[in-house]
Amino acid sequence: VEELYFSWKDQIMDIVGRWGEVGAPGKYHVVGVLGMGGSGVVGDYLALLSNLRGGLPVIVSKSHLLPRTISSDDLVFAISYSGNTLETRLAVEKALRIGARIVVVSSDGLLEKLAAEKGVPFVGVVKGVAPRTALPSMLFAILSVLDASGLGVVSRGEAEGVAGFLGDVMRDAVNAAYDIADFIDSSKGLLILAGHSPWEALLVRGKNEFNENAKIPVKVDVAPEWMHNDIVGYEKPYKFPACVLAVKDPGDRVGSRLVDFMIDIYKGLGYPVKVLELRGASDLEKLMYGSLVLGLASVRLARMRGIDPLATESIHRYKSMVNEIFGV
Ligand code: PA5
Q: What is the pLDDT of residues 279-321, one digit of tens each?
A: 999 999 999 999 999 999 999 999 999 999 999 999 999 999 9
Atom of ligand 1 nearest to the CA of 38: 7
Q: Span 100-127, mean pLDDT? A: 97
CB of 286 within 8 A of CB of 277?
no
The residue whose CA has the least distance to atom 9 of ligand 1 is 37
Which ligand 1 atom is at minimum distance from the Cα of 130? 3
Q: How far is the CA of 70 from the centre of ligand 1 (A)?
A: 23
pLDDT in tens, 122-181: 999 999 999 999 999 999 999 999 999 999 999 999 999 999 999 999 999 999 999 999
Contacts of residue 201, defined as CB under 8 A and 6 or more positions apart, other chains included, come to: 41, 44, 45, 47, 48, 287
Distance CA 208, CA 218 (A): 8
Average pLDDT over residues 44-57: 98
For ligand 1, the distance from its centroid to the CA atom of residue 186, given in whole angstroms, is 29
**How far is the centre of ligand 1, averaged over its atoms, from the C-alpha of 36 (Å)?**
6
| pLDDT tens by residue, 256-277 | 999 999 999 999 999 999 999 9
- State the distance from the centre of ligand 1 to the C-alpha of 21, rounded, in angstroms: 25
> pLDDT digits over 54-86, tens only?
999 999 999 999 999 999 999 999 999 999 999
Q: Which among 119, 115, 97 has a CA at the least distance from the CA of 106?
A: 115
Tens-digit pLDDT profile for residues 199-248: 999 999 999 999 999 999 999 999 999 999 999 999 999 999 999 999 99
Closest ligand 1 atom to residue 79 Cα is: 15
DSSP, collapsed to helix, strand or coil, labels residue 124 as strand
Residue nearest to atom 14 of ligand 1 (CA): 82
In sequence order, which residues have a C-beta less than 8 Å from that of residue 135 and are 6 or more positions away?
A: 8, 38, 41, 42, 45, 205, 291, 295
pLDDT above 70 coverage of the chain, percent:
100
The amino acid at 157: G
Whole-model pTM above 0.95?
Answer: yes
Run of H or E residues at 213: helix 200-214
Higher pLDDT, 1 or 280: 280
pLDDT at 1 over 90: no
- Residues contacting ligand 1 via CB (< 6 Å): 36-39, 80-82, 85, 88, 130-132, 212, 312, 315
Give the integer Cα–Cα distance in Å for 283 and 252: 11
Sign of CA dihedral 170, 308, 111, 63: negative
Question: Whole-number mean pLDDT of the chain?
Answer: 97
Ligand 1 centre distance from Cα of residue 212 (Å): 10
